[in-house]
Amino acid sequence: MNSYGFTLSGASLVFLPSGALFWAEAGLLCVSDLHLGRSERYARNAGALLPPYETRDTLARLEADVLQTKAQTVVCLGDSFDDTAAAKGLDEEARDWLTRLMAGRDWVWIEGNHDPGPLDLGGTHRAALHLGPLTFRHIAEPGASGEISGHYHPKARLSAGGRGGARPCLLFDRARAILPAYGTYTGGLRSDAAALAGLMGPGALAVLIGPVPRAIPMPR
């Protein structure tokens, strides 16, 4: 598969073209910020009408990654739903789809700032997950080590000259990795933003998603 491999706290990890992270030794697939139900929330709160297909597209990509990696554990790093009402408002097709994906697997929902409460969808609900040398949580904590998080939806430009659009990316250094948003209707925060520049250490890399993930020095 076209992917980018790196090591964090002794764990060998693989970043997939979709924006998911795979830890083969643990049989674990990790995704962040699915934001399922975003079009429904926009219509409900702002009256903005977005094509209501983002949940279907996000779940299709997630299913492909689960089947390709044969993951036995799936960790969703928070903001899996755009808000609690969006989770409750999932249509029957989406609920059935999630039920099929969860069947026979350990499924962990990490709490996010958009979906802090427990969800009536099965699986395990945690504020954070500590597994071997790694800690999975929604928002990075200063001073952490072996941490995998999301929340910021990082993105970066391939060209230092500013040409071309910014693409979602993974950021990682010796202490942590911050995943891009996996959801279809999600924006992003440029890697040179103060919140990200302050978290990532010297020598951090940005790995841009695409058919072949590409690593560049993290733009600051």
Predicted confidence at residue 86, as pLDDT, reads 57
Q: How far apart are CA 118 and CA 213, in angstroms?
A: 34
Would you say residue 44 has pLDDT above 70? no
State the total domains in the chain.
1
Please tell me which residue, 15 or 41, carries the higher pLDDT value.
15
Q: How confident is the model at residue 104 (pLDDT cuts 50, 70, 90)?
A: very high
- Averaged pLDDT, 12-34: 97
Would you say residue 117 has pLDDT above 90? no
CATH at 151: 3.60.21
CB neighbour burial string for 170-205, b if at least 16 within 10 angstroms, e if fewer: bbbbebbbbbbbbbbbbebbbbeeeebeebbeeebb
Would you say residue 52 has pLDDT above 80? no
What is the extent of the structural domain holding 72?
4-217
Residue partners of 179: CB distance under 8 A and separation at least 6? 19, 20, 21, 30, 31, 32, 33, 77, 148, 149, 150, 170
The owner of tokens 């970043």 is 15
Chain centroid to CA 117: how far? 19
Cα distances (angstroms) measured from residue 182 to each of 32, 35, 152, 187: 6, 8, 12, 10
Residue partners of 197: CB distance under 8 A and separation at least 6? 191, 220
Would you say residue 187 has pLDDT above 50? yes
Indicate the pTM of the whole model: 0.90
Q: How confident is the model at residue 51 (pLDDT cuts 50, 70, 90)?
A: low
| Beta pairing partners, 104 | none
Would you say residue 29 has pLDDT above 70? yes
Predicted confidence at residue 84, as pLDDT, reads 62
- Averaged pLDDT, 40-55: 55
Predicted confidence at residue 181, as pLDDT, reads 95
Q: Are 84 and 40 in contact (CB under 8 A)?
A: no
Predicted confidence at residue 43, as pLDDT, reads 47
- Averaged pLDDT, 180-185: 86
Per-residue pLDDT tens digits for 118-134: 467 889 999 999 999 99
